[in-house]
Amino acid sequence: MGIDAPVVPIQVSPDAVLDPPRNAEDVGWWDASAEPGREDGRTVITGHTVHTGGGALDRLREVSRGDRVDVVTDEGRMRYKVQQVRVLGKEEVAEDAEDLFGQDDGSGRLVLVSCTDWDGTVYESNVVVVATPLGQPVAQPRDGTARAARAR
């Protein structure tokens, strides 16, 4: 997938919707979720899919079970293995929100979310990728900017 994008903190809107970053080329880390590399909770990262191209997560739906996803932070490179790729309708995401995004029992999982199923007017679904950590972060020199995931 080869995403190399700035990660910006994002929040949940007053109507309980996770607002993706304003810039379609950025990815957003939900600041109430676990930081990458934490052993508890879930790290929730979201980004835009743009039907004409240019969204940071345009190709998220191409990720497959077993792929490796790396998230690079100031702490180093955190490696994850994709366990599940699901396409869920908007209502399903709302119904499953606690299971998908809840912080009580996440075992350090990574959850990536973007829109999919463009109907010519709106995106009808979300693609949700769940990955489990492969050990501790691997240290590497950093420039002080968190960067997005790379899937292989």
Whether 94 is in a domain gets the answer yes
Whether 115 is in a domain gets the answer yes
Query: Does the annotation count 59 as an active-site position?
Result: no
CATH of the domain at 35: 2.40.260.10
Judge if pTM exceeds 0.75: yes
Whether 85 is in a domain gets the answer yes
Q: What is the tally of structural domains in the chain?
A: 1
**Per the residue annotation, which of 5, 29, 36, 48 is the catalytic one?**
48
Whether 12 is in a domain gets the answer no
**Per the residue annotation, which of 115, 130, 146, 149 is the catalytic one?**
115
Query: Does the annotation count 129 as an active-site position?
Result: no
Range of the domain at 129: 29-133
Residue 25: pLDDT above 90? yes
> Which CA distances in Å does 122 have to 11, 116, 117?
22, 9, 8
Whether 140 is in a domain gets the answer no
- pLDDT band, very low/low/confident/very high, at 123 (cuts 50, 70, 90): very high
Whether 129 is in a domain gets the answer yes
Whether 18 is in a domain gets the answer no
The CA distance from 100 to 18, in Å, is 12
Chain segment 33-70, per-residue pLDDT in tens: 998 888 888 999 999 999 998 999 999 999 999 999 99
Chain segment 78-95, per-residue pLDDT in tens: 999 999 999 999 889 988
